[in-house]
Structure 1
């Protein structure tokens, strides 16, 4: 008997599906998809759900073109097979010229293995748990700034600040007064509609962190991750990693550290404003429900929408033939909304006992910072609920969407 997953995987969109998409979204999302289309920002979940339900492998005609898989099984197939779907060509479709690669994210073994083995201990649960008191103290310090006003703009006053503080103070040791410049560099390097500006902002982040790494390499060691990156790793051929690779690793870690948690955090606070029963569950029994809520919020509000790979050979996936050199996006946000792995995936349910999601990626490139992200989320929700148990959203949030999704503003009052 044919399984539901097989049906979902191999049913191509019908002409009726295509006509309906054009009517709803202004384009054929199955054969003419565009990550940067304003409709993908405004009707984000609808489009993702249609791709999951109706299209195993979508196509984009933007630039050199690319393919998209959103169903869970296909995302795993791409993400877990780096030999066929290589990360070494980068994760961006139509990558702007001159943008350096980010290691180890945009590399394959053995280079990827050499770096990940050295980085992992610095981001493991034991190390990260030592940051908890600092992160909770910072969360409260931020709340102190606005609690008496009875209102805040949650992004600029909290959600865009705490992850940066957590990463800069505890992991990198970069001066927090430079956080704004780096957040701007990361955001514009990711979202700017002007590809030249993206490249320029990327360049700024590389320059700043390269200078910082050079400075740290000349100081007495602190025994932290930055020292390890500055010292470099040995590659398979016996040579030490070149300096530019070390800077690339620091940039990659910084991008991950400040560009993603904000969206999950703010989306959850936005949702909790309208769901008092869920708020009460988290207040009454955080030990049971907070871990579940964090996984559910990460599942539904996936900050990394889609990352790409390059086909190293001709390959069939989802019933479609791709050629060597073709670029394919794994839509992590779709894999987490696939009914073949999640019951009633459109519903946000913080009581789910098991939450399967791909928000932190799949395969060997899975997010190295997931332990830190979970800690930031737990500290935020617990400290916020203690101090602001009831709040309301006073202005519709503003979103930006591309390969990442972010909330640019969220005004709250209590």
Structure 2
């Protein structure tokens, strides 16, 4: 078969796809994805200056779903699973002794090792087991709403503007996942800082660095420093959980064996980090997205206050509408074809969940927040063997929090302009100013 010409993105569009700044400006980015799905749904992205390896950008829902499910043809491990600049990839290899992955985790493993590691905690995150922690999660939700109500109490009977992200959507999922891990509450601020350094490294408001306009090498070193701090913290926690195991996830990881052997230090630390970090920032983004949608639609807020059966639809739509994990990368294990394009063995592909979850071929009027959307087979949790381990926990957390919010807040409205984070990987709102009336 003759080699076909690759549809290549022009430099401006290519930069938009990989620029953290673009993901802070949602509608223009969605406009670009709309155009690409029509003109070049599988397009080659190459930097003439070699600042990043070339890759295929995949934007249609059906193609992203197929790649997500076909874990034999499209691998996680050979190259990085998150878009990275060449400089960052080389930095990771030097740091790890050859691996492009700064953190070894469920996200980077392929079969057969992936499923062996996944099964270690999979039961813990199933709905049957999560029912045992519902009361604890509900208590955390009400404490969070207490803080929100206290912050909103203004003088002379007026309600103060509050930042929902800072007071609710950032700390609440962190409280939940740290309780599941068995991390003491006094250590949560440190965990928040580290997760923001890992996933907010591209945003000067989130990376806690005190620096603006960070060059790529500084961002990479910031993330590497966060990983090192995580590892030091969890090494100490491991010793404690081996000496005095309890029924939390950290004890499960600390005392786990695969093929009869304890986890090595790198894999164990990666397991802790993926549970701690991925279980926090993603749910934080979806929670803020749901509140934004409801604050913009007072009628829907009033409706769901009266009819809580609408809440699961709101939660699911918020997850699609927000798409907190914005992309993953895959590597072709063999010559194949995607969307009519020939993909060579070893090619790198970006499956863009933002684009896929806004594909009008799958979702009618995709930019509209529609709590009644059914079916809603979004890709925000991925699909196939690598589907998000914590998807049931995320839904549970959001449902319980919004039950508490709806019980105790009568009306809510925007009190300023929300802002999104600058991040190509995990993204969402970083500020959401609100004004509300207590019930």
TM score, norm. by length of structure 1: 0.87
Judge conservation of contact 1:56–1:318 (CA < 8 Å) in 2.
yes
Partner of 2:290: 268
Aligned counterparts of 1:405 and 1:178: Cα–Cα separation in 2: 24
Partner of 2:176: 166
Aligned counterparts of 1:203 and 1:303: Cα–Cα separation in 2: 24
1:203 aligns with 2:228: yes
Does the residue aligned with 2:418 lie in a helix, a strand or coil?
strand
Evaluate the alpha carbon distance shift between residue 349 and residue 146 of structure 1 in structure 2; reply closer, same or farther with a 3 A threshold.
Answer: closer
Instruction: Show CA shifts across 1:169-208 (max 9, x none).
Output: 1x11101222222222122222323222122222222222
Does the residue aligned with 2:411 lie in a helix, a strand or coil?
coil
Q: How far off is 1:37 after superposition?
A: 4.4
- Residues 87-126 of structure 1 aligned to structure 2 (within 5 Å): 87-89=76-78, 90-94=80-84, 95=89, 96-97=91-92, 98=95, 100-126=102-128
Does the residue aligned with 1:64 lie in a helix, a strand or coil?
coil
Instruction: Show CA shifts across 1:5-25 (max 9, x none).
Output: xxxxxxx989xxx7xxx8xxx
Partner of 1:342: 363
Judge conservation of contact 2:7–2:43 (CA < 8 Å) in 1.
no
Aligned counterparts of 2:30 and 2:362: Cα–Cα separation in 1: 17
Partner of 2:19: 36
Partner of 2:391: 370
Does the residue aligned with 1:328 lie in a helix, a strand or coil?
strand
Does the residue aligned with 1:343 lie in a helix, a strand or coil?
coil
* Residues matched between the structures, number: 387
Evaluate the alpha carbon distance shift between residue 326 and residue 183 of structure 1 in structure 2; reply closer, same or farther with a 3 A threshold.
Answer: farther
Aligned counterparts of 1:353 and 1:77: Cα–Cα separation in 2: 21
Evaluate the alpha carbon distance shift between residue 84 and residue 13 of structure 1 in structure 2; reply closer, same or farther with a 3 A threshold.
Answer: closer
Q: Identify which range, 100-109 or 32-41, moves more after superposition.
A: 32-41
Does the residue aligned with 1:392 lie in a helix, a strand or coil?
strand
Aligned counterparts of 2:357 and 2:415: Cα–Cα separation in 1: 29
Partner of 1:85: 74
Q: Identify which range, 293-302 or 200-209, moves more after superposition.
A: 200-209
Evaluate the alpha carbon distance shift between residue 353 and residue 84 of structure 1 in structure 2; reply closer, same or farther with a 3 A threshold.
Answer: closer
Aligned counterparts of 1:292 and 1:185: Cα–Cα separation in 2: 32
- Residues 7-406 of structure 1 aligned to structure 2 (within 5 Å): 28-29=12-13, 31-42=14-25, 43-60=28-45, 61=47, 62-89=51-78, 90-94=80-84, 95=89, 96-97=91-92, 98=95, 100-148=102-150, 149=153, 150-151=159-160, 152-169=162-179, 171-193=180-202, 194-219=219-244, 221-235=245-259, 239-287=261-309, 289-400=310-421, 401-406=423-428
Does the residue aligned with 2:37 lie in a helix, a strand or coil?
helix
Evaluate the alpha carbon distance shift between residue 52 and residue 202 of structure 1 in structure 2; reply closer, same or farther with a 3 A threshold.
Answer: farther
Aligned counterparts of 1:67 and 1:187: Cα–Cα separation in 2: 28
Evaluate the alpha carbon distance shift between residue 204 and residue 338 of structure 1 in structure 2; reply closer, same or farther with a 3 A threshold.
Answer: same
Does the residue aligned with 2:83 lie in a helix, a strand or coil?
coil
Aligned counterparts of 1:52 and 1:178: Cα–Cα separation in 2: 45
Q: Which runs of 5+ in 1 are unaligned?
A: 1-11
Aligned counterparts of 1:142 and 1:366: Cα–Cα separation in 2: 29
Q: How far off is 1:69 after superposition?
A: 0.9
Partner of 1:9: none
Evaluate the alpha carbon distance shift between residue 231 and residue 345 of structure 1 in structure 2; reply closer, same or farther with a 3 A threshold.
Answer: same
Instruction: Give structure 1 regions of 4+ aligned residues with deviation exceeding 4 angstroms.
Output: none
TM score, norm. by length of structure 2: 0.82
